[in-house]
Homo-oligomer: A and B are copies of this chain.
Amino acid sequence: MGSMKTLKVALLGCGNVGAQVARILIDDAEVLAARTGARLQLTGIAVRDVAAKRTVDLPAELFTTEAEPLIKDADIVIELLGGLEPARTLIRSAIDNGAAVVTGNKALLAADGQDLYARADEAGVELSFEAAVAGAIPLLRPIRESLAGDRITKVMGIVNGTTNYILDQMDSTGAQFADALAAAQELGYAEADPTADVEGHDAAAKGAILAELAFHTPFDLANVQCQGISSITADDIAAAKDAGYVIKLLSIAERLRGLDGREGVAVRVHPTLLPRQHPLAAVHGAFNAVFVEAENAGEMMFYGQGAGGAPTASAVLGDVVSAGRRMVGGGPGRTETATVQLPAVGLDSVKTSYYIGLDVADQPGVLSQIAGVFAEHGVSIETMRQTIHAEDPHDTANDGGQVTAELRFVTHRASEASLAATVEAVRGLDIVNAVISVLRVEGI
């Protein structure tokens, strides 16, 4: 290894992931050098507070508050600061200096990725971001390279560990949302302010990046249709379970034709019923998975840790070794794949299935009336289940008061617009006391 080239690596940020990246760069230097074909020398770690306590013991002399000099001297810059600034300015500076950039910053990529990709392309440097979506799960290379001879049509991801943990708890213990959230907070799976996770904002940002990855197109976060899980009740989960489904929060990106006939991309995040036999249904706890449908390859799934220091650090280092190999051996960087400009398509154009739970009067002709409304809107019913409720025991008048029933429908695929119109029309029927739940169904 005497004649081996040395590549200088600058690390920006030393949180959970950054500290693990530094540890691995130091402890596994030999293995990394053999894989890269060059020594990877960690030249410094830029942080806000040099004296702050780290999760890993690292040499004090590596720390500095001055990021710019580190960047100017580096072959590879690893950005793990998170947030928009100063991350954006520092990444631009690294690109301007001709360094390869590896980042795990999904917020920045979702907000400003296209500008950064364009700058990297222009400068002829590599910008890689395996760690930004689904933590340790290898997605970038399988999707960009292994499937380069195929066409991806749809991607469905469980990409937020917090909400998957909460829904999995509700499913396995029957807990209500609030209790499962509290349990997740206690275990450190959910933050004190869980809004970004439970309302689907984090999953939306990752959905936009997934769409960009899968369809080689820019996708604006503002065009993601997003619904969180805070309104999911223990009853919803129990009813779904009873019918053979599990409820998961999915980020779904698909390539389809819009109402104007043009091909485009729709991205949506919402709680979704999945058959319990579906591979995504077996993703438990805080794990992540991305399910991909391609024209020739068919169905695939990639499963793994979505977060955590060491797992995410593994993804960062995969990118670092790849970038290093290219510096040693030459070859195409991120510019290698053609980019197209596909328009964002609204939810109206998406075809999906609905699960609809209704509280109805238990009297003859109810089902036929409701089925008529479905038919009018061109929505056909895949399955129907009826549960008769016992008469209210508190109704001591024994006046033959209304006995109610619960009807649960799963529809065949239909346009979102027809389904929404169907639900509204059904809601208007006299015999319908309440629409208990409306959830989308995938995987059937």
Contacts and interface: CB of A to CB of B under 8 A. Distances in A.
Interface of A: 20, 24, 28, 31-32, 34-37, 130, 136-138, 140-142, 145-151, 277-279, 281-284, 287, 289, 294-305, 308, 310-311, 313-322, 325-326, 328-332, 336-338
A318 B149 contact: yes
The 8 closest A-B pairs by CB, nearest first: A331-B331, A149-B317, A138-B146, A329-B332, A282-B282, A138-B142, A300-B304, A296-B314
Contacts of A138: 141-142, 146-147, 300
A304 B297 contact: yes
Oligomer copy total: 2
A225 B319 CA distance: 35
Nearest to A31: B151
A325 B332 contact: yes
Given A147-B314, A298-B308, A326-B332, 6 more contacts: A28-B149, A138-B146, A145-B145, A278-B282, A279-B303, A294-B314
Q: Which of A32, A146, A282 has the most CB of B within 10 A?
A: A146
Contacts of A284: 277
Q: Interface centre among A138, A295, A308, A310, by most B CB within 10 Å?
A: A138
Nearest to A304: B300
Contacts of A322: 145, 148
A310 B329 CA distance: 33
5 contacts: A148-B325, A149-B318, A150-B314, A297-B310, A303-B303
B301 A303 contact: yes
Among A24, A36, A296, A315, the most chain B Cβ lie within 10 Å of the Cβ of: A296
A141 B149 contact: no
A338 B151 contact: no
A317 B282 contact: no
A300 B137 contact: yes
B149 A321 contact: yes
A338 B35 contact: yes
A356 B337 CA distance: 53
Nearest to A140: B146
A24 B296 contact: yes
Contacts of A287: 299
Contacts of A299: 287, 303-305
Nearest to A321: B148
Residue among A142, A283, A320, A331 having the largest count of chain B Cβ atoms under 10 Å = A142
A210 to B, nearest CB: 16
A111 to B, nearest CB: 25
